[in-house]
């Protein structure tokens, strides 16, 4: 298949539509990566450009006092009958672009590509990272591959991820921890239940603890993070006439970024101490990812907040900003689109919001 032409200098809403019309479901990003690489090589000046698998990297080295990283993923979730793109104009929503990836996150990517091609002399050196496989298991994430194999490309003073935020800065992100609470007992016929030890019953106090749990709120750099501790799965049982000898409760802890994953696990252990210390339950971490501090006090990040007229809030979900934070690079999420519309068959983004984010970042990058 021939590589489609992308006009990076076009209206970024039109560029978004062109990207959407190029299917790029995770693991199938070669065509869009080819198009982005060709366009960057032909339409930008002063960028060193590198192709690394289905990752396209570009950076300037103009000797500026600071470096800003613009990072966006090329892939989308599976298409749900919503490609090619189309636009509608209604009284309720105005001018809206529809299609898979319009929100997550080809509109954000279009803004970055457009600015790379149209900013003549930005106040910062720029690094543009277009990567693959963000929407699937973390082991495939292209940004993680770059971190392991080409970490020098992730050096910078501030990173901006084009995730959908409705045009607001969403700073940092919460961490996530999943813990399996397990109970053991003794199997028996339910007609002689007294001869067994019901493992499912041992989960009762833990569920009651969760029901009465009050999550913490914490302010960091003016961003309020709200933690949450929730049961997300429960299992146990052998048959309709058997007292079960095994049961489990999976708990997900979304924790503020002032805690490490180790501190988060210690908190979970404290919450369920009565059962854990008494040997009723055991606890095992099955998944964890650190959060990211907002870092808005960093001068480069503070200048971005100023360009956004002070419009920022905390990010509750986990995003790749955590990868940058772990490297000591303050990072924020900023992109067009309502994140609640991401991955939906009716995914859509207001055209005015694409223009708004483009203008905000142009002011910031131009200094």
Beta bridge mates, 292: 173
Would the pLDDT of 367 be above 90?
no
Is the CA virtual torsion 297, 302, 306, 308 positive or negative?
negative
Q: Is 75 a catalytic residue?
A: yes
In angstroms, rounded to a whole number, what is the distance separating the alpha carbons of residues 169 and 327?
A: 20
Of 120, 143, 129, whose CA–CA distance to 9 is shortest? 120
- Of 318, 324, 358, the C-alpha closest to 118 is 358
pLDDT, tens digit (0-9, with 9 covering 90-100), for 132-171: 999 998 889 999 999 999 999 999 999 999 999 999 999 9
229 neighbors 210 (Cβ within 8 angstroms): yes
**pLDDT over threshold 70, residue 337:** yes
Q: Which of 39-43, 125-129, 285-289 has the lowest mean pLDDT?
A: 285-289
Residue 328: burial class (beta carbons within 10 Å; 0-12, 13-18, 19+): exposed
Poorest-confidence range of 34-43, 105-114, 169-178, 238-247?
Answer: 169-178
Compute the C-alpha angle 175/179/183, nearest 5°. Answer: 165
Average pLDDT over residues 192-204: 97
Helices (H), the chain: 12-20, 30-43, 107-118, 142-149, 204-211, 261-271, 273-277, 299-307, 321-326, 351-366
Q: Compute the average pLDDT of residues 53-65.
A: 97
34, 75, 163, 347: which is the annotated catalytic residue?
A: 75
Percent of the chain with pLDDT over 90: 86
- Mean of per-residue pLDDT scores for the chain: 95
Cα 45 to the center of its chain, rounded Å: 30
pLDDT tens per residue, range 220-235? 988 999 999 999 999 9
Closest listed residue to residue 269, CA positions, set 256, 257, 251 = 251
Domains annotated for the chain, with CATH where assigned, are 12-172+292-366 (3.40.630.10), 175-289 (3.30.70.360)
3-state helix/strand/coil string of 61-104: CCCCCCEEEEEEECCECCCCCCCCCEEEEECCCEEEEECCCHHH
The per-residue pLDDT for 319 is: 87
Active-site option among 134, 170, 320, 347: 134
> Can you read off the two tokens belonging to residue 326?
């772990």
pLDDT at site 210 = 98
CA–CA separation, 146 and 263 (whole Å)? 28
**The pLDDT of residue 38:** 98
Q: How far apart are CA 286 and CA 305, in angstroms?
A: 36
| pLDDT of res. 138 | 84
Return the structure tokens found at 112.
Answer: 């970055």
For the entire predicted model, the pTM comes to 0.86
Which of 124, 118, 130, 78 has the alpha carbon at shortest distance from 101? 78
pLDDT at 1 over 70: no
Count other Cβ atoms within 10 Å, centred on residue 224: 11
Is cis: bond before 105, omega within 30 of 0? yes
Q: What is the pLDDT of residues 230-280, one digit of tens each?
A: 999 999 999 999 999 999 999 999 999 999 999 999 999 999 999 999 999
Question: What is the C-alpha separation between 243 and 237, in angstroms, rounded?
Answer: 7
134 is catalytic: yes
């Amino acid at each position: 298949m021939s590589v489609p032409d992308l006009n990076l200098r076009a209206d970024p809403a039109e560029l978004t539509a062109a990207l959407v019309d190029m299917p790029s479901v995770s693991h199938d990003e070669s065509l869009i990566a080819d198009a982005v690489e060709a366009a960057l090589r032909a339409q930008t000046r002063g960028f060193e450009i590198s192709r690394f698998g289905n990752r396209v990297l570009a950076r300037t080295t103009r000797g500026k006092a600071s470096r800003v990283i613009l990072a966006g993923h090329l892939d989308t979730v599976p298409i749900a009958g919503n490609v090619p793109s189309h636009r509608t104009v209604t009284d309720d929503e105005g001018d809206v672009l529809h299609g898979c990836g319009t929100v997550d996150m080809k509109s954000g990517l279009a803004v970055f590509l457009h600015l790379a091609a149209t900013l003549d002399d930005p106040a910062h050196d720029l690094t543009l990272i277009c990567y693959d496989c963000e929407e699937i298991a973390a082991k495939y994430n292209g940004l993680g591959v770059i971190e392991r194999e080409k970490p020098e490309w992730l050096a910078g003073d501030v990173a901006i991820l084009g995730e959908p935020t409705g045009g607001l800065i969403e700073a940092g992100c919460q961490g996530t921890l999943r813990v399996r609470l397990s109970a053991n007992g003794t199997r028996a016929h339910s007609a002689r239940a007294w001869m067994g030890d019901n493992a499912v019953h041992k989960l009762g106090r833990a569920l009651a603890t969760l029901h009465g749990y009050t999550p913490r709120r914490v302010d960091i750099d003016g961003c309020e993070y709200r933690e949450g501790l929730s049961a997300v799965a429960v299992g146990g049982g052998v048959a309709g006439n058997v007292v079960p000898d095994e049961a489990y409760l999976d708990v997900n802890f979304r924790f503020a970024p002032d805690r490490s994953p180790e501190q988060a696990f210690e908190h979970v252990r404290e919450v369920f101490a009565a059962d854990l210390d008494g040997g009723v339950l055991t606890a095992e971490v099955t998944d964890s990812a650190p959060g990211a501090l907002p870092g808005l006090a960093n001068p480069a990040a503070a200048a971005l907040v100023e360009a956004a007229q002070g419009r920022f809030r905390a990010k509750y979900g986990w995003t790749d900003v955590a990868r940058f934070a772990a490297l000591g690079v303050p990072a924020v999420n900023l992109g067009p689109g309502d994140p609640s519309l991401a991955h939906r068959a009716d995914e859509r983004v207001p055209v005015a919001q694409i223009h708004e984010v483009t203008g905000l970042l142009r002011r910031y990058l131009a200094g």
